[in-house]
Structures are given as C-alpha cells and as structure tokens.
C-alpha cells in the first residue's frame, strides 16, 4: 500500500509483515558506510557474483523489519539461516559503491532430490521477505522437500538499506490526516502532508531513493541466483512479486527456471488504471462480504436486508467519521475516516478477515474504533508499541521510482466522478491516492513495465476471480505480455488476495506439480 494510503500492490503476507526505520548493516571490505547505509568503493557485478555467503543463525528482526523475536524452526525441522548479499548501488556506475541485501534460507529436507533454491517475493512493494517467509513457511512445506526456501529484503526494504522518512510521531499524524479532502483547507493540509513526507524521505535517504526501483531489484535477483549457485532462477512471486518477476523475465529470459506468479499485478495498467482497477476490486470484495452477511441473516452483526443496505452502513460510518473521529478503546487515539477506510481495505485482503471487518464496523457504529484502527495500523506497519516499520516508506519510494506519472490537484479532482462510480466506499480514497508521487524528488522510470520474455521457460500465472488488490484481468494481461509459449494461465474462483495460500488443493496441486516435477498445467485450467 502506498504512503498516501491507497492500498496498492499489497498481499496478505506482506500486509502483516513488519519493518521500521533502522539502517541495515551494509558494507564492502575497505569501504566506509554513510548514514544512508551505502558503502564507498568499486562494485563490479561480475566480481560480486563470486562472493561467498556467510550463513548464520538469524537475529531478531530489526526495527526496520518490524521487530519481534527470532524465527521459530521451519516446518520439517532444521533452522533458518541468514546472510547478506552485496549488490551494486547503481549497476550503471560500479564506482558508486554497494549495499547489502538481507537474506534468509531454510535448506531442502530431501537433499538427495534437491532441485535448487526457490526464491520468494511476497509483495508490497516494501514487504520484508526475511520476516514473511518464516511466518508463511507452513504453506510451502511440500516445496521445501526439494528446494531451499529463500527470500530477501529488496533494496530499500527492511534490513536492506531501508528508506527512512518521517519518525513515529510524525507518521501517526500523517496517517490520521484526511486523505479525501472536501474543501480548499483540507486540500492544502493533504498536499502539505505529501510534501513533508517526500521531503523527509529525501533528507533521510536521498542517496538511496534513485536506486530502489524494480529494475534494480530484478538485477539483484539475478546476482542472487548466481551467488546461490543456481543455473536458473526458480521463483514464486506474489502480488508485487509478479511485477518484479515479470521485469526479471524480460531482462533475463534465458535465466528463468520454474516460476509461478500468484495474485498478478496487471503489467498493462498505468497508475490511474491500476488505481481504478483496485477501487473496483475492493468494491467487489466488499460486495461479496455484504452478500455473505445478508445470507447469514440475524447471525450477521450488521443491519441490512440486501447488499446495498449493508454497504450503506459502511458508507454512513465513514461519512460520520469524516465529521467526527471516535475513540479507539483506551489507547488515547481516535479513529478517522481515512483510517477506517484503510482498515476496511485491510480486512478485505482475505476472507479469513471478514469476521474482523464485521466486528470492527459494528463496534465503530457503537463508538469504539479500536479494531478498525488496529487493522489500519497493520496495513501501515505500526506496531502495538507505536513504532512503525519502513514498509510504507519503501512502498512509496519503489512505486515513485518506477512510475513516471505525477498528478496535479486539478487532474486528480477531475477524476473523482469516475472513481466514485467505480466504488462509493473506496473511490475517493483511490482517486486522491493518485497524488502520492506528486512531490517526490526522484523521477519515475516507466509508464508501464515491460514484461515481454521471449525465450523464457513457461511461467505459471495464477489469477483469482475475487481478488480485491490485483483484479483477475491482470493475470490474463500478464500472460499476453509475457508472450507466446511463456505465460500459462491458471484460474482460481475464490475470494481474497492470492490463490496458493488460500489452501485450495487444486491450485496447490497444479503449482506443486510444476515446481517439483516440471509438469506445466494445461493453459486455461480452472480451480473452484
């Protein structure tokens, strides 16, 4: 989700992964680290491809990754090991120095039939793979039999030279501000907030900001592949991880091994198309939630004899909060309309969270905003102790480094009617989010990413018909753009963000058969 609160390119695992504002230990022998976590000296990619990784017991997560305890043993035994990978700050300028990427690995349990490494990116952008992989490892136990499970914090994220912007108290203020202004005064406050955030990012991480885009992250993955000793990159990308995987396939088509894209970001969508697609996607998820509520009748806590009446409860609540925020339990904090919308979106990432959404809206109607605020905090990377991860800072930096579009106030206001038609709940929220990069100090790289990958091995592309954050059409468009003979579409008729982690046996069976045995599913396979 972007720093201006539009929930973009997030996935269920990354939505709860924590990060914060500490600098990673980055370095290269003989060089001196500066406050941005960079190391001076020459960084030749070919030379770095021969580096040896020093795998050691994993420490507790840094504040940048979200704090917490050391990861518990992975399913199937053994232990998690961590290391750092040196990568060039700027692949086009080897003398610009290096930074270190944080890695985590659990080795394959059946070493006699080991295929290689399986590298994960769980989404965001901005999610810490080092913290998310252990949390999600039970979902991938079958894959671990023959793969070393590997993930990493991409550049700018978590413990990999994290982008640092505002401090915790400033972020509390920033995320409580009205992100759907209604008059000139509110518009000024909103724009001032965006400018202050961007200025803080430049002041605290200016040397890193030009180099955190997806193209650099894809080059990092190929360096990681080489250092891990794999001839091909075997990869599972989820949500934003599909965009990263698509860019990798474009840059290195002949290095693609067995790859799976799940919860697919549409590579044909520019910033505006992506935002309105998400407005429609989250509205669809809310429709499905409301229908479930109606079907359960009196067992549902929310009033309404039909879908519209249930959703009217939500619309009315958000409007009331816009006029008067409510207390959030005994925390001393108050729930604003923006935080409520954010929390509702967070709960729509998975059907498992629907009971929390129902309870949260019901409690907020009664004057207690604690649960919806907790859901919003999870989206924003705020821990119970009031400290923030760097997930939103990284998300902003990566998205703004990638996308060229910069929207003015006038352009944004002109888009409001179309977005409101797309969703009465999320339309304004998503439309105003178009301005997220308007004050950003670094220019973007593309209008849409190039993911064409002629010559690549088959890539299984999994689309979920009920996905709110990455609408289903994105999977079809990814298959088309990867090119003939590359993308193989698999459809899951379900709810929530992503398919493999839903537990659906059909999806997992098809994906596992490809990753473990090389059996490509029939194009157009449908799981329901």
Q: Where would I find the beta strands (DSSP E) of 172-282? A: 233-238, 256-262
Q: Is 467 annotated as catalytic?
A: yes
**459 is written with which tokens?**
């890539």
Residue 343 dihedral angles phi and psi, to the nearest 5°: -65, -35
Residue 192 dihedral angles phi and psi, to the nearest 5°: -65, -35
Residues contacting residue 169 through CB under 8 Å, at least 6 positions apart: none
Q: Is 4 annotated as catalytic?
A: no
Q: Is 192 annotated as catalytic?
A: no
Nearest to 98 by CA among 30, 199, 166: 30
* Active-site annotation holder among 239, 423, 438, 502: 239
C-alpha R_g of the chain: 22
212-230: string of b/e by CB count within 10 Å (b at 16+)? bbbbbbbbbbbbbbbbbeb
Report how far apart, in Å, the C-alpha atoms of 471 and of each of 200, 267, 269, 464, 481 are. 33, 12, 11, 8, 16
* Active-site annotation holder among 36, 153, 402, 467: 467
Q: Which helix (H) or strand (E) holds 310?
A: helix 307-323
Q: Give the pairing of strands 56-57 and 81-88.
A: antiparallel
* Active-site annotation holder among 456, 497, 502, 504: 497
- Per-residue DSSP letters for 3-33? TTS---S--HHHHH----S-------TT--B
82 within 8 A of 58, measured Cβ to Cβ: yes
Which amino acids are annotated catalytic? 239, 467, 497
């Amino acid at each position: 989700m972007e720093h201006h609160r539009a929930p973009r390119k997030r996935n269920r695992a990354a939505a709860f992964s924590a990060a914060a504002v500490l600098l990673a230990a980055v370095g290269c022998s003989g060089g001196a680290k500066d406050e941005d976590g960079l190391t001076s000296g020459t960084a030749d990619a070919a030379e770095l491809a021969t580096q040896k990784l020093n795998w050691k017991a994993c420490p507790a997560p840094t504040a940048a990754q979200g704090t917490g305890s050391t990861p518990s043993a992975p399913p199937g035994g053994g232990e998690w090991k961590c290391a750092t990978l040196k990568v060039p700050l700027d692949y086009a300028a080897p003398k610009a120095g290096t930074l270190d990427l944080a890695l985590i690995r659990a080795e394959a349990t059946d070493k006699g039939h080991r295929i290689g490494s399986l590298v994960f990116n769980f989404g965001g952008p901005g999610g810490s793979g080092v913290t998310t992989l252990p949390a999600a490892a039970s979902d991938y136990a079958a894959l671990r039999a023959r793969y070393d499970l590997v993930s990493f914090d991409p550049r700018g994220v978590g413990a990999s030279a994290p982008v640092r912007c505002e401090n915790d108290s400033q972020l509390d203020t920033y995320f409580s501000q009205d992100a759907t202004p209604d008059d000139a005064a509110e518009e000024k406050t909103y724009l001032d907030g965006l400018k202050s955030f961007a200025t803080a990012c430049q002041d605290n991480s200016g040397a890193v900001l030009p180099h955190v885009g997806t193209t650099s992250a894809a080059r990092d993955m190929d360096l990681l592949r080489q250092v891990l000793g794999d001839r091909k990159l075997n990869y599972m990308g989820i949500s934003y991880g599909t965009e990263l995987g698509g860019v990798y396939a474009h840059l290195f088509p002949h290095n693609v091994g067995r790859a799976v894209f799940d919860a697919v970001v549409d590579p044909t969508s520019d910033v505006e198309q992506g935002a309105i697609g998400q407005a429609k996607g989250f509205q669809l998820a809310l429709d499905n939630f409301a229908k479930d509520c109606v079907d359960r009748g009196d067992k549902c806590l929310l009033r309404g004899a039909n879908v519209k009446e249930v959703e009217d409860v939500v619309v009315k609540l958000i409007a009331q909060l816009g006029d008067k925020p409510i207390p959030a339990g005994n925390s001393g904090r108050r729930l604003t309309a923006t935080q409520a919308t954010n929390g509702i979106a967070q709960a729509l990432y998975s059907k498992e969270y629907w009971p929390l959404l129902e309870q949260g809206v019901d409690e907020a109607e009664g004057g207690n905003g604690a649960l919806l605020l907790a859901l919003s905090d999870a989206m924003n990377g705020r821990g119970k102790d009031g400290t923030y991860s760097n997930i939103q800072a990284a998300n902003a930096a990566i998205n703004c480094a990638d996308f060229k579009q910069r929207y003015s106030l006038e352009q944004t206001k002109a888009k409001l009617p179309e977005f409101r038609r797309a969703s009465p709940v999320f339309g304004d929220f998503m439309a105003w989010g178009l301005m997220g990069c308007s004050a950003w100090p670094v220019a973007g790289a593309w209008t849409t990413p190039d993911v064409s990958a002629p010559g690549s091995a088959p890539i299984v592309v999994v689309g979920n018909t009920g996905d709110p954050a990455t609408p289903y059409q994105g999977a079809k468009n990814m298959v088309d753009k990867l090119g003939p003979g590359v993308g193989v579409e698999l459809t899951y008729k379900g709810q929530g963000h992503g398919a493999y982690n839903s537990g659906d046996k059909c999806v997992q069976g098809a994906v596992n058969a490809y990753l473990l045995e090389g059996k490509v599913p029939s194009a157009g396979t449908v799981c329901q």
